[in-house]
Amino acid sequence: MAKKKRKKANELTKKEIRLGKKARRQRRMILVGAAVITVVVVVLIAFGFYQEYLVKPKEPVAMVGEAPIRTDTYQKMVRYYRSNLQNQLAMLQDQLARLDPNDQSSEFIVQYYQQQVEQLQTQLGNPQELGQQVLDDLIDDELIRQEATRRGIVVTTEEVQLEIETQFGYERNPPTPTPTPIITATQAITPTPTATPVTLDRFQEMYATTLEALDERAGFSEADFRRIFEAMLWREKLQEAMGQEVPTIADQVHARQVQVTNEEQAQAIMTLLDEGVDETSALDAIHVLLAETEEVKTEEEIRAEKDPQELSTQLTESEDAFALLAQNFSKDTSNKDTGGDLGWFSKGRMVPEFEEAAFSTPAGEIGGPVETQFGWHVVFVHETSEEPEPQVQASHILVETEEEAQAIMTLLEEDIDEDTALSALDVLIEAEVAKARAKEEEVQDLLTQLQESDDRLAFLAENFSEDWGSKDKGGDMDWFPRGEKTPEFEEAAFSLAVGEMSEPISNTIGYHIVEVLGHEERELAPEILEQRQLQTFEDWLADQRQSEAVQRYSFLDKVPPDTDLSR
């Protein structure tokens, strides 16, 4: 009987062979899949890198004709603008910190610096507005460059270099020093400060430092920096070229005027220009003109309105004697009708003398009298508060003399007898009467001067015109072409014959009585010509911004974050 053969220990069965082949196929598939995934990931990373660092920077945020404004250029300029604003802010804050906010002499400059600081902080806090400004400027620069090129205007590398040197204060060929005169023993020597010239080494040092700082803060290269100066020169040259095309001769009139606020005053001027006007009408007209700047009352009107006995009775019966006195005698027309109410105010809002009196007076009490540049004040403090800062709520009565202020204080005392009250009221009323008499004398004096004047319009302009540019010259406005005044004014001025005077002309400024002294074609005044040249350039640029040549794309998502590349 034959024996069965035994399997070798390492020999696989058919099933095991099949399973092994299947496992090897699966491993190959996994490896191939992993390789494919790796390739896809690498491709995606490479594509992302390509998009982020090669494609996106080249994407335009705007097109000007065929010229793109690239994203990378735009972002560099945003960082550059932001860096400049931050530098300006830091300098202003440093200068502000050196000033004493309580020093009255520096109050104006402190307020100015504070306004500038707030404005810069607002600009820096609004990235959309900053991004818009940068894009607008880049579009302007490209429009200017294209038009200048079309006109054959050239900006050379050497011109750019000279402009940079000039901006840094370096002069290659400084002017020849003026010979110093010999000082004799009898001559006084006045030292004159001389600016230290920037040397070539110093210029190169400052230039290198600037480039390094711009690279750190804005990613700016030297070429980027030079392009800023190149754009400045393109603008200057194109503006000059366009300015030369502006006509220098125009039809002009030489006129003079009296300008007032309302029709009643204008008619008063017309009355006073009439040499045949009677004295009563002339005096009434002068009263009308003076009433605009201050209340003008006659002695009779004052005595009729302010009877001492009647006022004394009103004060006795009044629940607010301070308000009653303010309404009748205060010279502060901005608040007298509300009883002298100044509302709440904190320190630094009023002149120092008044502030000291107000903040040192307890609530519910009268302070003063105190003298300031405006006159004498009696102060009533209603309330005080320490939150969020020390402040008071107060009213005041303003009068011209210490005697009047003392009379007010007397009338505010409790339980004063009638004779004392009448005496104090007499002081206040007689002070107003004295001022009324002085005003009547002034009115009469003005009429006398007018009657003696050989140039009534010039006299009236000097005394009553509200055009500060011409009143001191007798209303003379010199020569001007069309386009410099309001349409209503020009229509009248250019239609009048030489020597003719207009009826009152109304416009948004006020009322005008105009006399034409001359009418001819002549050269424009330098300041008018310069303004027209600038306006021509600005008008052209405004038109180009709205033209089809300018295409703007989405840019807000491309405004870089406020980060400092140096950190």
pLDDT digit string, tens, across residues 525-550: 999 999 999 999 999 999 999 999 99
Q: Which of 180-189, 395-404, 409-418 has the highest mean pLDDT?
A: 395-404
Together in a domain, 78 and 142: yes
**Does residue 288 fall inside a structural domain?**
no
State the Cα angle at 433 between 432 and 437, rounded to 5°. 120
Count of domains for the chain = 4
Is the confidence at residue 189, as pLDDT, over 50?
A: no
Confidence (pLDDT) at 1: 47
Going by pLDDT thresholds of 50, 70 and 90, the confidence category of residue 304 is confident
Is the confidence at residue 567, as pLDDT, over 60?
A: no
Mean pLDDT, residues 8-24 taken together:
63
Distance CA 473, CA 266 (A): 19
Confidence (pLDDT) at 11: 62
Out of 57-61, 200-204, 406-410, least confident range: 57-61
Average pLDDT, the chain: 86
Do the Cβ atoms of 379 and 366 come closer than 8 Å? yes
| Final residue in a domain of this structure, among 408, 442, 476 | 442
Together in a domain, 82 and 226: yes
Out of 177-191, 196-210, 264-278, least confident range: 177-191
Confidence (pLDDT) at 186: 45
**Does residue 6 fall inside a structural domain?**
no
Together in a domain, 84 and 115: yes
Together in a domain, 416 and 318: yes
Confidence (pLDDT) at 195: 60
pLDDT > 90: percent of the chain: 59
Q: Higher model confidence: residue 393 or residue 348?
A: 393
Q: How many C-beta neighbours within 10 Å does residue 435 have? A: 18
Q: How many C-beta neighbours within 10 Å does residue 66 have? A: 7
DSSP label at residue 501: B
What distance lies between CA 151 and its chain's CA centroid?
36
This prediction has a pTM of: 0.66
Together in a domain, 431 and 514: no
pLDDT digits (tens, 9 = 90+) for 479-537: 999 999 999 999 999 999 999 999 999 999 999 999 999 999 999 999 999 999 999 99
Residue 262's CATH number: 3.10.50.40
Is the confidence at residue 56, as pLDDT, over 90?
A: no
Distance CA 508, CA 55 (A): 56
Together in a domain, 39 and 162: no
Q: Given CA atoms 330, 335, 338, 343 in this order, what sign does their dihedral have?
A: negative
pLDDT > 70: percent of the chain: 84
Confidence (pLDDT) at 399: 92
Helix ranges (DSSP H) in 339-455: 352-360, 402-411, 418-452
> Hey, what are 265's tokens?
């005053």
Confidence (pLDDT) at 217: 84
In 3D space, the residue among 540, 503, 541, 514 whose CA is nearest the CA of residue 460 turns out to be: 514
Together in a domain, 421 and 514: no
Name the pairing type of β-strands 505-506 and 375-385.
Answer: unpaired
Torsion, Cα 66 72 75 77, to 10 degrees, reads: -70
Residue 35: domain span: 18-55
> Hey, what are 342's tokens?
């100044």
Confidence (pLDDT) at 437: 85
Out of 205-209, 313-317, 363-367, 508-512, least confident range: 313-317
Together in a domain, 205 and 315: no
The dihedral region occupied by 236, where left means phi > 0, alpha psi between -120 and 50, and beta the remainder, is alpha
Cβ contacts of 344-348, under 8 Å, gap ≥ 24: 344/385, 344/391, 344/392, 344/393, 345/391, 345/392, 345/394, 346/389, 346/390, 346/391, 347/389, 347/390, 347/391, 348/101, 348/102, 348/107
Distance CA 512, CA 256 (A): 10
Going by pLDDT thresholds of 50, 70 and 90, the confidence category of residue 46 is very low
Together in a domain, 313 and 364: yes
Per the listing, tokens 């600009």 go with 123
Together in a domain, 458 and 323: no
Is the confidence at residue 375, as pLDDT, over 70?
A: yes
